């Protein structure tokens, strides 16, 4: 082999080695960047979880303190009118346990075999089905409503999360037992009226039963209440926070 060919051969080998090393280093740098980005994002999410937990603990302690203050005021030397107004506000906000007559509505998924249905989702209880029942009960004068022991308040959200339904940040599964305090006859009649909620759900095979009760107890709302404030205006007025 001539010296020219040898020089060309070793030049090609050397160039190949340099290119290989360069590609290897570049790949390693890219991998390290991706790993560092994943670690950074994971740490950010972990920090957010810790921060949210701290905020929840603070809000929960504030709620407990406010409930204690409310109880102290309600048992203190107040006029009957003020006490009555406080009791009404407490009942309306869901911060106190309530006992009275009412109804118990039970919702269960359909027994229709999902193998022979075009859309099996039509035959299971969804958040919108629960909302239909709750809205009908409220329209019929329900003073307080709970679902599987979770008291509904103005801030309560009802949403589907797969096979479960989230209420007050808790995942609930069927059967869904909705309790409501109010006139048993009025609420039962509203649900069972012709073309009403019960008939609609039964059309899809959803099992619904309504039981009138002389006495039932609905627990107080136990979740956190976050209050958002609006800054004061030029007229030195501020908004009332919503629960």
Gap between the Cα atoms of 8 and 5, Å rounded: 5
Is pTM beyond 0.85? Reply is no
155 preceded by cis ω (within 30°)?
no
Q: Among candidates 115, 152, 114, 130, which has minimal Cα distance to 200?
A: 130
Return d(Cα 155, Cα 158) in angstroms, integer: 10
pLDDT at 15: 66
Give me the percent of the chain exceeding a pLDDT of 70. Answer: 63
Angle of helix 127-139 relative to helix 184-192, nearest 10 degrees? 130
pLDDT at 166 over 70: yes
CB atoms within 10 A of CB 134: 20
Asked if residue 207 lies in contact with residue 133, where contact means CB atoms within 8 angstroms, the answer is: no
Using the 8-state DSSP alphabet, how is residue 163 labeled? T
CA-based angle 63:59:154, to the nearest 5? 65
**Tens-digit pLDDT profile for residues 108-139:** 998 875 555 567 777 889 999 999 999 999 99
Categorize the per-residue pLDDT at 232 as very low, low, confident or very high, splitting at 50, 70 and 90.
very low
Rounded CA gap, 200 and 193, in Å?
Answer: 10
Dump pLDDT digits (tens) for 38-75: 666 777 777 777 787 787 777 777 777 777 776 676 66
Class of domain 95-218: alpha beta
> Whole-number mean pLDDT of the chain?
77
Predicted confidence (pLDDT) at residue 24 exceeds the cutoff of 70: no
Domain boundary assignment for the chain: 1-77, 95-218
């Amino acid at each position: 082999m001539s010296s020219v060919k040898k020089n060309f051969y070793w030049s090609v080998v050397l160039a190949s080695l340099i290119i290989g090393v360069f590609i290897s280093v570049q790949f390693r740098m890219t991998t390290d960047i991706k790993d560092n980005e994943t670690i950074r994002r994971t740490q950010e999410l972990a920090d957010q979880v810790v921060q949210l937990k701290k905020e929840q603990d603070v809000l929960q302690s504030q709620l407990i303190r406010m409930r204690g203050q409310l109880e102290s005021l309600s048992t203190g030397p107040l006029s009957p009118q003020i006490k009555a107004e406080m009791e009404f506000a407490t009942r309306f906000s869901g911060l106190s346990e309530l006992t009275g007559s009412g109804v118990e509505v039970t919702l269960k998924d359909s027994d229709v075999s999902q193998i022979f249905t075009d859309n099996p989702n039509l035959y299971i209880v969804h958040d919108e089905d629960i909302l239909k029942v709750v809205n009908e009960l409220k329209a019929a004068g329900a003073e307080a409503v709970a679902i599987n022991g979770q008291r509904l308040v103005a801030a309560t959200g009802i949403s589907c999360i797969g096979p479960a339904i989230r209420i007050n940040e808790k995942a609930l599964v069927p059967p869904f037992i909705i309790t409501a305090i109010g006139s048993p006859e009025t609420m039962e009649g509203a649900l069972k009226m012709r073309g009403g909620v019960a008939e609609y759900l039964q059309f899809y095979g959803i099992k619904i039963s309504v039981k009138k009760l002389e006495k039932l107890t609905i627990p107080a709302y136990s979740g956190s209440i976050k209050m958002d404030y609006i800054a004061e205006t030029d007229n030195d007025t501020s908004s009332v926070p919503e629960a």
